[in-house]
């Protein structure tokens, strides 16, 4: 099933999401649906549960489409449950980001180059892994969503002010995007 994407301005994107347990109803189906929703959208490589209206600590990332650029992404299709970033390290790196919940806006975001993340996979097996560079950026972006943040929160007040009318339009649903969406 394809879910509509909740857009900037919807309160669900501002909640700190809650952990889930193994008996969360139809979890495998939900994860499959999140990947499907992401593939049907424009250029999504990551999707967090709050973006489909569920305030739970779950996000999915698939970097395998980028395997041509980086062979280590070949099998990078993962679900992250109850994730906790325990460390951010290395240089601060600035790169452009976008978000399915904020269509039409791409802005430069500065993040740490590396992260250590603890999470459960779709089988509730615990992992603690280190990621760097692009993977670390995508993980930090999705992790923001389960903490009630979005990428534009990282911008300067002036930059945000300049985006204000665009953001107001997004919150009202005055956007053109190919996927189904939902506003508050
Ligand atoms: Ni996003």
- pLDDT 10s digit of each residue in the chain, 184 long? 999 999 999 999 999 999 999 999 999 999 999 999 999 987 789 999 999 999 999 999 999 988 898 898 999 999 999 999 999 999 999 999 999 999 999 999 999 999 999 999 999 999 999 999 999 999 999 999 999 999 999 999 999 999 999 999 999 999 988 899 999 9
Answer yes or no: are the C-beta atoms of 139 and 61 closer than 8 Å. Answer: yes
Task: Give residue 14 CA to ligand 1 midpoint distance, Å.
Answer: 12
Sheet holding 58-62, edge to edge: 46-48, 58-62, 77-97, 107-120, 126-132
Domain that holds residue 86: 5-182
Task: Give residue 8 CA to ligand 1 midpoint distance, Å.
Answer: 10
| CATH number, residue 33 | 3.90.45.10
- Residues, beta carbon < 5 Å, ion ligand 1: 99
Task: Give residue 177 CA to ligand 1 midpoint distance, Å.
Answer: 15
The catalytic residue positions are 142
Task: Give residue 22 CA to ligand 1 midpoint distance, Å.
Answer: 25
Count of structural domains within the chain: 1
**C-beta neighbour count of 176 within 10 angstroms:** 6
- Cα 39 to Cα 44, 65, 77, 167: the distances in Å are 6, 10, 12, 24
């Amino acid at each position: 099933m394809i879910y509509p994407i909740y857009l900037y301005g919807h309160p669900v994107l501002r909640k700190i999401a809650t952990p889930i347990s193994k008996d969360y109803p139809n979890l495998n189906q939900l994860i499959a649906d999140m990947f499907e929703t992401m593939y049907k959208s424009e250029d999504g490589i990551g999707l967090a549960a709050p973006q489909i209206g569920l305030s739970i600590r779950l996000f999915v990332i698939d970097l395998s489409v980028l395997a041509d650029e980086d062979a280590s992404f070949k099998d990078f299709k993962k679900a992250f449950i109850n994730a906790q970033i325990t460390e951010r390290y290395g240089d601060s790196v600035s790169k452009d980001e976008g978000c399915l919940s904020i269509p039409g806006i791409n802005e430069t975001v500065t993040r740490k180059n590396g992260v250590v993340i603890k999470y459960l996979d779709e089988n509730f097996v615990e992992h603690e892994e280190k990621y760097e560079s692009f993977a670390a950026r995508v993980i930090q972006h999705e992790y923001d969503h389960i903490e009630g943040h979005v990428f534009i929160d990282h911008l300067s007040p002036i930059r945000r002010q300049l985006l204000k009318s665009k953001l107001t339009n997004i919150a009202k649903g005055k956007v053109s995007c190919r996927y189904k969406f939902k506003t508050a």
